[in-house]
Amino acid sequence: MAPELIVFLVLGAVAVGSALGMLMSRNAVYSAMFLIMNFATVAVFYLVLGAPFIAMVQVTVYAGAIMVLFLFVIMLLGAEHLERRTGLDWQKPIAVVLGLVLLVEAGYVLASGQASLPAIAIPEAGYGAPAQIGELLFSQYLLPFEVTSVLLLAAMIGAIVITRRDAPKRKKN
């Protein structure tokens, strides 16, 4: 087996394993930890696929900032454990079966060769480097980029408004 394939299989196994770990853990903190691990492996995939910038963002923003936020909320709410049985347990087997069907469908598409994909080529030097991404981001995708900033602002304000306990009463003029 080619060394690349070995790397892929090992990393893929780790990714799937950590995802399953997230799914199965009883404790939400463990779930979060497994997810961070999963994100880290995916970041390595990004590196392999020639996307160093995205990999970096994945580690800093996703595995870093966002997951810290998750852990923070879990700790804040004391919501590590909560499993009270409800009347929806019949849903679990259905969901698993449907998931398997989805996988079979995807596998069939891949195996039958309906979607003929070209082989991955070796990219030119500098592909996916921050400089190249930046150039594209600030020329062709400038408007979406600016819109994104508005979106983030809106999200920030939204989060503040939603979590504010009571509107501080204004002084009457």
Partner 1 sequence: MVPVEYYVGLSAILFTIGTLGVLTRRNAIIIFMSIELMLNSANLLFVAFARTFEALSGQIFVFFVMTVAAAEVAVGLALIVAVFRTKDTINIDEVSSLRG
Partner 2 sequence: MLLSEATNPGGAFNLVPWIVFFPVIGLLVNLVAGKRMGEKFIGTVASLASGLAFAVSVALFFALQANHGHKEIFHLLDWINIGALNIGWDFRIDTLSVTMMLVVSGIGTLIHIYAAGYMHYDVRYKEDPASYVRFFIYLNLFIAMMMILVSGDNYLMLFVGWEGVGLCSFLLIGFWFNRSPDGTFGTGNSYAAKKAFIANRVGDFGFLMAIFTTFWVTHSLQFDEVFHHLDSGEVPAWAIWAIAMFMLLGVTGKSAQIPLYVWLPDAMAGPTPVSALIHAATMVTAGVYLITRSAPIFSAGEGVHNVVAWVGAGTALFAATIAVGQYDIKKVLAYSTVSQLGFMVAAVGMGAYAAGMFHLVTHAFFKALLFLGSGSVILAVERGHHPIGEDAHGDHHDEHHGHDDHGHAFDPQDMRNMGGLRKRIPWTFWTYIMGTLALAGVPIWAGFFSKDEILADALHFNIGIYIVLSIAAFFTAFYMGRQVWLVFFGEPRSHGAEAAKESPRTVLIPLVILAILSTLGGFMNFPEVHQFGHWLEYTLGHFYHPTEFNANVALGSTAFGLAALFISWLVYGQNPRQTAKEKDPLEKAFPGIFAGMNAKWWIDEIYEDLIIRPYQKLAAWLADVLDWRFWHDWFHERVIRDGFFGLTRFLAHPVDLGVIDGIANGLARVTQGGATALSIFQTGFVRNYALWVFVGVVSILGYLIFR
Binding positions for partner 1, 27-66, rule CB under 8 A: 28, 31-32, 35, 38-39, 42, 45-46, 49-51, 53-54, 57-58, 61-62, 65-66
* Residue selected from 16, 20, 48, 108 as contacting partner 2 according to rule CB under 8 A: 108
Are 75 and 27 within 8 A, CB to CB? no
Among the listed residues 39, 76, 31, the one whose alpha carbon sits nearest the alpha carbon of residue 61: 39
Q: Which does 107 bind (CB under 5 to 8 A by kind): partner 1, partner 2, none?
A: partner 1
Q: Please say which residue, 86 or 173, places its beta carbon nearer to partner 1.
A: 86
* Residue selected from 90, 112, 114, 118 as contacting partner 1 according to rule CB under 8 A: 118
Contact status: 108 vs partner 1 (CB under 8 A)? no
Range in contact with partner 2 (rule: CB under 8 A) among 15-23, 38-46, 85-93, 145-153:
85-93
Range in contact with partner 2 (rule: CB under 8 A) among 22-30, 48-56, 97-105, 125-133:
97-105
Are 49 and 3 within 8 A, CB to CB? no
What does 68-133 look like in DSSP terms, one character per residue?
Answer: HHHHHHHHHHT-S------TTTTHHHHHHHHHHHHHHHHHHHHHHTSS--PPPPPPPTTTT-HHHH
Are 65 and 50 within 8 A, CB to CB? no
Q: Which does 70 bind (CB under 5 to 8 A by kind): partner 1, partner 2, none?
A: partner 1
**Burial (CB count within 10 angstroms: exposed 0-12, middle 13-18, buried 19+), residue 36:** buried
User: Shortest gap between Cβ of 108 and partner 2 (angstroms)?
Assistant: 6
Alpha-carbon distance of 133 to 16, in angstroms, equals: 29
Contact status: 152 vs partner 1 (CB under 8 A)? yes
